[in-house]
Amino acid sequence: MSLLITDECINCDVCEPECPNGAISQGAEIYEIAPNLCTECVGHYDTPQCVEVCPVDCIILDPENPETKDELMEKYHLIND
């Protein structure tokens, strides 16, 4: 699954620079994650870096975008090759 930032986001700016795929950007009110770019850091790190640095734990699995680890790895290759 790609990740999703909930409305509990406090716009602290720490997640955006941590994303190796450039999937995180400032939205109208809170940061947003582009599902077509989010690989949950598969291919880069063992754990999603945005989740690691988020001080309010507002980044969750996106129920609208279910993906297996294999699908995330395939997306990683499409983005980075």
For the chain, what are the domain ranges? 3-80
Per-residue pLDDT of the chain (81 residues; tens, 9 = 90+): 799 999 999 999 999 999 999 999 999 999 999 999 999 999 999 999 999 999 999 999 999 999 999 999 999 999 988
Looking at the DSSP bridge assignments, the partners of residue 59 are 5
Q: Within 13 A of 23's CA, how many CA atoms are on the CB side? A: 24
Using only C-alpha atoms, the chain has a radius of gyration, in whole angstroms, of: 12
Helices (H), 1-81: 49-53, 69-80
79: exposed, middle or buried (Cβ count in 10 Å: 0-12, 13-18, 19+): middle
Predicted TM-score (pTM) of this structure? 0.92
The CATH number of 3-80 is 3.30.70.20
